[in-house]
Amino acid sequence: MVYLYSVLCCLFLFPYFGWRGGQALGPKGRRILWGILALIFVLFILALFTHRSIQADWMSHVMNASVYIFFSSMYAAGVLVLMEVLRYIDRRAFGFYTYAPLWKRKLMRQASLVLAAVVFVGTLFVGYHNVRYPVVLHQDLYLKRLTPEWAKAEKRLRLVFFSDLHIGEAMTPPYVERAVELIMAQRPDLILCGGDYIDHLSAYAYDPRVMKVMRRLRAPLGVYFVLGNHEYRADTLSNIRFVREIGATLLRDSIAYPGDSLLTLIGRDDAVYGDRMPYARITAGVDPTKRPVVLMEHTPGAVDSLAGSPVDLMLCGHTHGGQIWPGQAMVWWKFGIASGTRDYGDKQVCVSSGIGSAGATYRVGTRSEIRVYDLYW
């Protein structure tokens, strides 16, 4: 749907750019600008109606480009609208622009257009870079309740957590390979995936190139996945089978004990699955006195249920850190956290912004990431 929204919004944005740009460029520049905008829009329309039937890397690039241009156009339009507001204020209160000589007003319009163009190009670069070059965030986690006062905590294991890979039209095989290489470069003892590993259609995940790369995910204590909301959008059974096909383990309201019971790992089904098991029932038999307890759940909506639970560390995804500014504010309003790590008493909750992106490879105000936890007790 994000591609459809991009085309529809550009239907209104492009005429605005043509109108405002034409005022600053003159007749010849106006014709060139309108020609470029019309060509881009026609290509978007053709791609919109053919991309479902053409599952190729080049089509993914075309669709991603349409979203880059759309969102960067929104930021550029914001600059031009801000200039309109300032001119309105000036006309009402000051008159610096209103009564300026004609040549000076034209120069100001051209400066506004240049500023909008700089914002457009800048956000294109930032939006691309923030997705394609994920950051690795390290954190040491000390489990004081398992460490006697007289003892020194020792590093027991390295846990690598990633979420929201969204294998699909936007996240192509080359990017999946880069993500897997980054995960394996951390030398993990345990690899955890917090859901939304597939965007929606399983055909992209079963691409032989993707399967070959995902089968490289290996760790001494195992590789574990939980489901996210996107796995339920289409081809659910194939999306579930995919985890087994790559040699990993899927946890659905169940518990695993990696490393000969070195820790307790709980994996919850996503909230979109209405028949999932109550949290209290899953953890009823968990003994927190002997080993750390790690909970994986795709959506951070159940943070409040941690009170009184045996969980030491809760790992979530889903939010994408807001993905596109000012989305961070909306995510924070809904979940109380957009991304990062927060203490809840003696427990920690990690909300990852994800290693991929949904709908388009575009991020402003947040970065793609994986999280590395060194556990001490």
Give 94-114 pLDDT, tens digit per residue. Answer: 888 777 887 788 788 888 889
How many distinct structural domains can be found in the chain? 2
What pLDDT, on the 0 to 100 scale, is given for residue 183?
Answer: 98
* CA dist 14 → 7, 18, 36, 40, 324 (Å): 10, 6, 10, 10, 21
Apex CA 277: angle with CA 272 and CA 279, to 5°?
100
> Domain check: are 121 and 141 in the same one?
no
pLDDT in tens, 170-224: 898 999 999 999 999 999 999 999 999 999 889 999 999 999 999 999 999 999 9
Would you say residue 136 has pLDDT above 90? Answer: yes
What are the b/e assignments for 208-219, b being 16+ CB within 10 Å? eebeebbeebeb
Q: Compute the mean pLDDT over every residue in the chain, rounded to the nearest whole number.
A: 86
> Domain check: are 125 and 140 in the same one?
no
pTM score, whole prediction: 0.87
> Domain check: are 97 and 167 in the same one?
no
Would you say residue 10 has pLDDT above 70? Answer: no
> Domain check: are 150 and 269 in the same one?
yes
Structure token digits, residue 213: 């790369």
What pLDDT, on the 0 to 100 scale, is given for residue 317?
Answer: 96
CATH of the domain at 215: 3.60.21.10
Among candidate residues 109, 131, 153, the one where a domain is terminated? 131
Would you say residue 277 has pLDDT above 80? Answer: yes
> Domain check: are 262 and 149 in the same one?
yes
> Domain check: are 80 and 159 in the same one?
no
> Domain check: are 352 and 223 in the same one?
yes
What pLDDT, on the 0 to 100 scale, is given for residue 242?
Answer: 97
Higher per-residue confidence, 360 vs 299? 299
Q: In angstroms, rounded to a whole number, what is the distance separating the alpha carbons of residues 366 and 369?
A: 9
Among candidate residues 115, 131, 147, the one where a domain is terminated? 131
pLDDT in tens, 144-156: 788 877 778 888 8
Structure token digits, residue 258: 């990696």
- 359: which residues sit within 8 A by CB, 6+ positions away? 1, 2, 3, 67, 170
> Domain check: are 286 and 139 in the same one?
yes
Read off the pLDDT of each residue in 20-33 and give the average, rounded to a whole number.
Answer: 74
* Residue 159 DSSP class: E
What pLDDT, on the 0 to 100 scale, is given for residue 93?
Answer: 82
Structure token digits, residue 312: 């030491």
Among candidate residues 131, 153, 184, the one where a domain is terminated? 131
> Domain check: are 15 and 82 in the same one?
yes
> Domain check: are 118 and 148 in the same one?
no
Read off the pLDDT of each residue in 220-244 and give the average, rounded to a whole number.
Answer: 95
Amino acid identity, position 124: L
> Domain check: are 14 and 87 in the same one?
yes
Q: In angstroms, rounded to a whole number, what is the distance separating the alpha carbons of residues 70 and 74?
A: 6
What pLDDT, on the 0 to 100 scale, is given for residue 326?
Answer: 86
**Residue 66: domain span:** 2-131
Would you say residue 282 has pLDDT above 90? Answer: no
> Domain check: are 94 and 127 in the same one?
yes
